[in-house]
Amino acid sequence: MDMGVVELTGEQGEDLALHIQCAFRVLHVDRVLLGSRDMTYVRVDAEAEAFDNFATAYDDRAALLSRVLGGARPKIESVLQDTAGALTLKATRGFSVEVFPDRSATEESWRAFTRGGEHFGFPPGLVQEFAADARP
């Protein structure tokens, strides 16, 4: 699976980024707008090189969602993380992001951060170790 990227605005107006390398979905109220499995489906009119040419269901839905979120400018209201790495971001205007680490390997599943700021993620030790190594 490739990486999903979601960027939202925090409570103090800061830009927050979420890089996701596991199962996830973006919802509006109770409807899934985009899911990580959308990356595995080729667009109906796409050629055999669809995955190289960004012609998957994910690419189409992500482009539409980017326009919607750009207009709505939702702000994060709450963040909930459990001990196994599941993460839920609730935002204004009925938007939310649900992240679900779905592998037993100790690879990075997700990372949340402000540009130039502290990094959080799962598994926590791996993410903080990597973030410290990446700083100048």
Residue 135: partners with Cβ closer than 8 Å, 6 or more residues away: none
Secondary structure (3-state) at 82: coil
* 132 CB-side CA count, 13 A: 6
Q: How confident is the model at residue 41 (pLDDT cuts 50, 70, 90)?
A: low
CB 112 within 8 A of CB 16: yes
Q: How confident is the model at residue 132 (pLDDT cuts 50, 70, 90)?
A: very low
Q: How confident is the model at residue 87 (pLDDT cuts 50, 70, 90)?
A: very high
> Tokens at residue 103, please?
């592998």
The percent of residues above 70 in pLDDT, for the chain, comes to: 79
CA 17 to CA 112: how far, in whole Å?
6
Amino acid at 24: F
CA 52 to CA 89: how far, in whole Å?
30
Q: What share of the chain is helix, strand, coil (3-state, %, to 5)?
A: 25, 40, 35
Q: What is the pTM of this model?
A: 0.79
Mean pLDDT lowest for which of 5-9, 54-58, 97-101?
Answer: 54-58
* pLDDT per residue as tens digits for the range 90-123: 999 999 999 999 888 788 899 988 877 888 889 8
* pLDDT per residue as tens digits for the range 21-32: 999 999 999 999
